[in-house]
Homo-oligomer: A and B are copies of this chain.
Amino acid sequence: MNDDALLAEQMAYYKAGAAEYDRPYAEYEDLQKLLAAVGDLPIAGHVLELACGTGQWTPRLAARAQSVTAVDASPEVLALARARTGSPTVRFLEADLFEWRPPRRYDTVFFAFWLSHVPPARLPGFWNTVAAALAPGGKAIFIDDGPAAAAHEEVLADQPTPTALRRLDDGSEYRIVKVFHDARTLTDDLTAQGWSVRIRTMAGNFIGVAEPPTTAA
């Protein structure tokens, strides 16, 4: 390929990708706001972090907590989270969140960008697990994508469970569960299950604070 052709294709790339390659900056700004918002959330005592991923949130939780137990299914992401989190009060656990049952109760159960990956059929069970993991007076705190984020995903149509296609740099494709919860519907659903819940939106995301039904806690 000669340079003229290559430069024409380069120009086509930037033309076609304009909105897309600007998005990371916008997302970065949104993420920074969410990360900053952690400082205002009622994170306290012994904290359980579900689906901690690469530990983006873990150090911020650790700064507010007596201890953090951070759980994820992937040893690869846990290795990155461990490298990022240099706190003696954080313990990492490898476990499949759909199988794992917490061995104790916590004052805070935190999960960021995990709720959207829980299949709807498993949501009631998931919330029961969260409720069972909370000590009396404890709170669930969750952050996730709202409906606007769907515009940035390859949503697969006609799937029994809401599914998106994700692609890695090597071109490999993976289907993942991706439910874009609406704050109002989520509030209503949780309220109907007996939770006390407040959800606020921030850019295309939402932040929820919820207390389980007293019978469950």
CB distance from A105 to the nearest CB of B (A): 26
* Cβ A77 vs Cβ B7 within 8 A: no
| A100 CB–B CB distance under 8 Å | no
* Cβ B24 vs Cβ A174 within 8 A: no
* Cβ A13 vs Cβ B119 within 8 A: no
Q: What B residues does A196 contact at CB under 8 A?
A: none
A95-125 vs B, Cβ < 8 Å mask (1 yes, 0 no):
0101000000000000000000101011000
* Cβ B25 vs Cβ A54 within 8 A: yes
| A177 CB–B CB distance under 8 Å | yes
CB distance from A12 to the nearest CB of B (A): 6
Starting from the known contacts A3-B160, A15-B75, 18 additional A-B residue pairs (CB-CB under 8 Å) come to: A2-B160, A3-B119, A6-B119, A6-B163, A6-B177, A9-B175, A10-B117, A11-B73, A12-B174, A13-B176, A15-B73, A17-B174, A18-B76, A18-B77, A22-B54, A24-B28, A154-B169, A154-B170
Q: Which residue of B lies closest to A163 (CB)?
A: B6
| A208 CB–B CB distance under 8 Å | no
| A80 CB–B CB distance under 8 Å | yes
Determine how many copies of this chain the complex contains.
Answer: 2
Q: State A161–B6 Cα separation when bound (angstroms).
A: 9
| A157 CB–B CB distance under 8 Å | no
CB distance from A120 to the nearest CB of B (A): 9
Q: State A25–B54 Cα separation when bound (angstroms).
A: 10
19 A-B contacts (beta carbon < 8 Å): A1-B163, A3-B122, A6-B161, A6-B163, A6-B175, A6-B177, A11-B74, A12-B174, A13-B176, A14-B74, A14-B76, A15-B74, A16-B168, A16-B172, A17-B168, A20-B168, A22-B80, A24-B24, A152-B169
